[in-house]
Amino acid sequence: MLTEQDRQEMLALLHREVVPAIGCTEPMAVALCVAKATEQLGCLPENIDLHLSANILKNAMGVGIPGTGGMIGLPIAVAMGAVAGKSCLGLEVLRDCTSEDLDKSKRYMAEDRIHIALEEQDTDKLFIHVRVADANGHTEEACIKGGHTNFCPTSSAAPKENARPEAVATSEAGTPCGESSLSLRAVFDFATTAPLDDLRFILEAKRLNEAAAADGLRENYGHQLGKTMCSPLGRGIMGDSIFAKVLSETSCACDARMAGAKIPVMSNSGSGNQGICATMPVVVFARENHNTEEELIRALTLSHLTAIYIKQSLGCLSALCGCVVASTGSSCGITYLLGGTYEQVAHSVKNMIANLTGMICDGAKPSCALKLTTGVGTAVMSAMLAIQHKYVTSAEGIIEDDVDRSIHNLTSIGSKGMDETDRFVLDIMTHKG
């Protein structure tokens, strides 16, 4: 039975983890950290030194940076963060950058002022340490650790060359990353019983991510997966079904975002793709299934909070593709829209874990739309089975009778079992050609 304190904590968690973001959140977090350090310095730095965790490097190597006309990678994100970033905007740090700012950032980048290195001391998978210096040798630092907007103190009293953050990695909620007191039952009860007015803000996710999908359909972004599925070729193969619409509209939003479209999306747990994946399948299915607004709000809440719950156990960044987490949330939301009970929602989670566990993350890039669409397709299929009380049982693979233990098995594989996979993937990515 949920207490009022439980409800308030879950509501606060939703407000913290479901926030607007422009561009891929890893390079945006780096730009945010650079902007913070630059603001502390009070002028455009002469030099910028960055130490980044391997997962930050992996997720920022091949993704488009918003407002750059298609440029990819960290250097331009770092330069723009220094030239025109505003730390008060959080993950929308580059929102107000102009074409003049871009030109200035390109010149700055070309002057060899930016130095990026792999962090080898701190083991947090989400670690960004920035040191900036002016012409007189004065330096300032900023550090983000444990969460994409989670600034932590730096050892400013120590010699600058040895300065490192003092804080233990924490989430924005103030608890160590990887710990969670949630359960799927608590998530379901909250989503289905909380006062509707408390949850209505989740419709902003619908508004932002639908606009991103429309932009992805309008322009030619990335691999144009969403547009391809909407084309005569796509319709000829896939038809004009609810399933096809769920896939294409979700893909369109991801196509736009990963190519660097300067449009905000509603993120989840620090990931725009996860926010899209937790939102768009539920929105499209509710529209086509003629669900009520209340049903949509509760389904979106269930989808997003399920993703947050799983992600808390998995960790901010991992070797496991985030679409596995977010599409599991959307499968729960779709099951609910079909009239599913808690037991059927739990069935859908087991079906998802049995199918998608092991999908690797090899960085943020345009082809993420392919993985997102795979996850969403599985979400619909899992919901279809679950609503008929068909699900993968504890006699099979990593699934257990207890759905929360099944979730723990998934996150343990992603956070611990795939550590060597993570290192191997990064090695391949940095030694191609």
**What is the pTM assigned to this prediction?**
0.87
Vertex 77: Cα angle to 72 and 79 (nearest 5) = 125
First vs last C-alpha separation in the chain: 57
Backbone phi, then psi, for 115, in 5-degree steps? Answer: -130, 120
Containing H/E element for 141? Answer: strand 139-145
Joined together, the tokens standing for residue 167 give 């804080």
Whose CA is closest to 129, among 94, 97, 161? 161
State phi, psi for 72 to the nearest 5 degrees.
-125, 160
CATH class of the 20-162 domain in this structure: alpha beta
- The Cα–Cα gap between 85 and 93 comes to 5
- Angstrom distance (rounded) from CA 142 to CA 164: 10
- Whole-number Å distance between alpha carbons of 200 and 302: 13
Cβ–Cβ under 8 Å, residues 45 and 113: yes
Beta bridge partners of 21: 265
Cβ contacts of residue 100 below 8 Å, gap of 6+? none
Confidence at residue 159, expressed as pLDDT on a 0 to 100 scale: 37
Cβ within 8 Å of residue 91, ≥6 positions away:
19, 20, 21, 22, 25, 28, 29, 32, 148, 149, 267, 270
Classified as helix, coil or strand, 154 is strand
Q: Could you list the pLDDT tens digit for every one of the 433 residues in the chain?
A: 899 999 999 999 999 999 998 888 899 999 999 999 999 999 999 999 999 998 899 888 888 898 888 898 899 999 999 999 999 999 899 999 999 999 999 999 999 999 999 999 998 889 999 999 999 999 999 999 988 999 998 754 333 444 444 443 333 333 334 445 799 999 999 999 999 999 999 999 999 999 999 999 999 998 999 999 999 999 999 999 999 999 999 999 999 988 888 889 999 998 999 999 999 999 999 999 999 999 999 999 999 999 999 999 898 788 899 989 999 999 999 999 999 999 999 999 999 999 999 999 998 888 999 999 999 999 999 999 999 999 999 999 999 999 999 999 999 999 899 989 988 988 898 888 7
3-class SS of residue 340: coil
Query: Rounded CA gap, 148 and 387, in Å?
Result: 36
Residue found under tokens 């407002």: 67
Same topology between domain 20-162 and domain 184-430:
no
Helix (H, G, I), strand (E, B) or coil at 259: coil
For 359, list phi and psi in degrees, rounded to 5. Answer: -65, 120
**Architecture in CATH of 184-430:** Orthogonal Bundle (1.10)
pLDDT for 153 equals: 87
Nearest to 209 by CA among 285, 277, 157, 289: 277
DSSP secondary structure letters along 297-321: HHHHHHHHHHHHHHHHHH-SS-SB-
Task: Classify 195 as helix, strand or coil.
Answer: coil
Question: Could you give the CA distance from residue 186 to residue 164 in angstroms, rounded to a whole number?
Answer: 38
Domain boundaries, the chain: 20-162, 184-430
